[in-house]
Amino acid sequence: MPDWLIVLGRGLAMLMVLFFMTKVLGKKQISQLSFFEYVIGITAGSIGAEVITGLDRNFFHGIIGISSFIAIPFLVDKLSMKNKKLRDFFEGKGTVVIQNGNIIEKSLNKEKYTIDELMELLRKKDVFDVSNVEFAILEPTGDLNVLLKKEKRPLTSEDIGLVTDEEKEPCTIIMDGAVMIKTLASIGKDEQWLEEQLAKKNKRVEDVFLAQVNSVGQLYLDLYDDNASKAQTDQGKVIKAIMERCKADLDLLSLESTDEESKLMYQKNSDKLQTVLHDLKTLSKPI
C-alpha cells in the first residue's frame, strides 16, 4: 500500500479517535483551559501527529498513548468534583487583584501581570476608571470579573422597588425560511396565526431568514437581503409605472379639454411629473 494512502487512513482514524475522546471529556475541554488541560491537549495532539506520519510506528500503540493521557483529566475531573483541594491544585484558584478599591501589587506580581495588562482587562469590561472598582478577581481561565462600587452600578428595577414580569427567552419560529412547527406549538400558536402575522407585514414565510417571538408576544422578522432588495426594486417599478400612467392621462385630458384654464392646469402637472420621472431616471443611473 502506498505511504500516502497509509498516512491518509491513519489521519482519518486518529481524527475520529480524538473526536470521540474529546466528546467523553465534555465541553469543558473546548472552552477556557486550565494549565493542566492545556498540557494534556497539546500532548495528545503531538502523539496523534507523530502516529499519523510515523509509518514505522505501531498505530495501536499511539491510540494507547493518547488514551492514557485522555484518561488522566477524566479521572482528575471526577476526583476534583469531590475534593476542593484537588480542584484548586489542578484547576487553580482566582486571584484578587483589586480589593476595597485598591490595586494589590503582590497579586499582579504573582500572576506576572503588569498594570497595563490589568487596565486592558478592565477596559474589556467597559471600566476605564479604576476608582469605580470595588473588587476584581482574576479567574484561573484568565478572565477578570469586576464588581463596581455601589454608586457606580447600573440602576435596577429592584433598587427602585419596581415589580417586573418574568422575562423568558425569545422563541425562534422561522429559521432559514422554514417554520419551526414544534416551537410554534410550544408557545400556543399555529401556522395560521403565523401566516396572519406575516400577512399584516406583506411578507411570506420564504421571505423570512429568521423570526422570533419574545416573552410579550412581539414578532421580530429578519428578511433575506436579496428578497428585501428585490421587494424594494419591484415597488419602485410599480410607483414609476403609476406616475407614467398619470402623466399620460394628464396629457390626454389636456388635449381633450376645451377650457384653456383647465388645459393649462393639466399640462402644468404633466410637466411636473415629467421632471420627477427624469430625476428618478438620473438617480437610478450607476455612478
The amino acid occupying position 84 is: K
Task: Determine the Cα–Cα distance for residues 168 and 6; give it in Å rounded to an integer.
Answer: 53
* Residue 64 CB neighbours (<10 A): 10
pTM of this structure? 0.47
Cell output for 202: 406583506
Average pLDDT rounded to a whole number, residues 29-45: 64
> Which helix (DSSP H) or strand (DSSP E) does residue 137 occupy?
strand 133-138
pLDDT tens digits, 142-176: 789 999 998 888 877 777 777 766 767 889 999 88
Cell output for 246: 398619470
pLDDT tens digits, 229-244: 555 555 666 777 788 8
Q: What is the pLDDT of residue 137?
A: 93
Closest by CA position to 231, among listed 212, 210, 198, 204: 204
The amino acid occupying position 259 is: D
**Where is average pLDDT lowest: 26-30, 98-102, 167-171, 266-270?**
26-30
Contact present, 183 and 176 (Cβ < 8 Å): no
Average pLDDT rounded to a whole number, residues 37-56: 68
Contact present, 11 and 52 (Cβ < 8 Å): yes
Is residue 184 helix, strand or coil?
helix
pLDDT tens digits, 203-213: 888 888 899 99
Q: 178 versus 47: which is more confidently predicted? A: 178
